[in-house]
């Protein structure tokens, strides 16, 4: 569904962000990861399923530096400054959202 709606609303060409071909270690820090976060399908999915934006707002409210929907949905993630902040946010979100699964994850480098 989301791919069909995306194609109808766009030229069906993925957006290319400036600088994506930069240095190979461009994702070495959270600051650089955040700079490149983008998902062409997020707007299409969020328009139909407002819960995507609701979860993103909750992530930001709990201190996420940035957040985004993954792929065509329905998962949404937040990036936090520290593991401790992520743990606190994870517990708050678990308590607030009853019908979603919430996971604490750590990136590997």
Averaged pLDDT in 10-residue chunks for the chain of 109 residues: 76 56 59 82 91 93 95 90 94 84 82
CB atoms within 10 A of CB 59: 21
Give strand pairing partners of 67: 78
- What integer pLDDT is reported at residue 66 of this predicted model? 94
- What integer pLDDT is reported at residue 106 of this predicted model? 84
pTM score? 0.76
Structure tokens at 94: 């678990």
């Amino acid at each position: 569904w989301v791919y069909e709606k995306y194609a109808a609303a766009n030229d069906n060409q993925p957006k290319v962000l400036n600088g994506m071909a930069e240095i190979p270690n461009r994702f070495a820090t959270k600051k650089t990861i955040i700079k490149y976060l983008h998902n062409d399908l997020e707007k299409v999915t969020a328009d139909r399923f407002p819960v995507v934006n609701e979860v993103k707002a909750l992530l930001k409210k709990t201190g996420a530096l940035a957040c985004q929907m993954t792929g065509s949905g329905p998962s949404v993630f937040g990036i936090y400054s520290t593991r401790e902040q992520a743990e606190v946010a994870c517990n708050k979100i678990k308590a607030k959202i009853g019908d979603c699964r919430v996971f604490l994850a750590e990136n590997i480098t």
